[in-house]
Amino acid sequence: MKKKILIIVLILAVVLYVISGIKASKEPKVALIKVEDSIMGYMDTVESIAKAQKDESIKAVVIIVDSPGGAVGASQEIYRSIEKLREKKPVVVSMGNVAASGGYYISAPANVIYANPGTITGSIGVIIQQVDLSEILSKVGVKVNTVKSGENKDILYPTKPLTPEQRKILEETVKDVYEQFLDAIVKYRKIDKEKLRQYADGRVFSGRQAREIGLVDKLGNVQDAIREAKMLAKIPEDAPVIEITPPKSVLDEFLKSKLGIDQNFVKTGIYYMMEF
């Protein structure tokens, strides 16, 4: 008899646990997504944003940005994902130590941007670099033979200097991407494009300076951003907050913790040329 009672109690406990879990999963909540370090890879962040978008219990998202920038394509992928997210739910960005260049780019489409007064942000611009090793190679007697399909196929290779024509091609490309950067900002920020251009020369700003210009909406920390997100979503102040974190591979953890190397950088290597 005691054994049967114990089994019944255990079954009831399991049922109550499952019910409470289901109830908790449906409870309105805010999700946190972190974007840290250089923006090279983007799939983890894009997948986290997609997960937050699909989860109906998540009513608002706070994106914590602590990044000095990174690859143009990766930044644009994340930017577009945040655009799609804000069509469904409020998005608030909380800037940490630094949210510059690509870090600012991905912040622009948020409904509200928070920065600490001392956050380093801005650095609006585009850069592309080429390392010319041709003189060194010549001095050590190394000759590189190149077979290419077109005159500019090796435009950024380190084995040869840029020609004036190639420099002009790159300058035009940089200018085009720069205009894309400005357009991406003014689409969501209350700042005139020509006024923005005055500040968009690569300089950085403190969070307080950025607010005065119109690049940032409010000053505050992540708790302030969470409070704002709950208010925009019209959910209780005590609504739970969860963090969405992508799974990390063993290799990724080893490279980052033991060697201090970002796996995305290893994957990208020398093929990464243009950055915000």
In this structure, how many other beta carbons lie within 10 angstroms of the beta carbon of residue 17? 10
Work out the end-to-end distance of the chain between its first and last CA atoms, rounded to an integer number of angstroms. Answer: 72
Q: E strands, 110-226, where?
A: 112-115, 120-122, 127-128, 204-206, 218-219
Q: Which two tokens stand for residue 61?
A: 């998202």
Q: Which residues are catalytic?
A: 101, 153
Contact 214, 123 (CB under 8 A): no
Tokens matching residue 112? 């509200």
Residue 159 CB coordination number (10 Å): 15
- Distance between CA atoms of 36 and 96, rounded to whole angstroms? 9
Give the number of C-alpha atoms closer than 13 A to the C-alpha of residue 83, restricted to the C-beta side.
12
Specify whether the CB–CB gap between 219 and 207 falls below 8 A: yes
**Residue type for 158, please?**
P
The dihedral built from the CA positions of residue 40, 104, 178 and 79, taken in this order, carries a sign that is positive
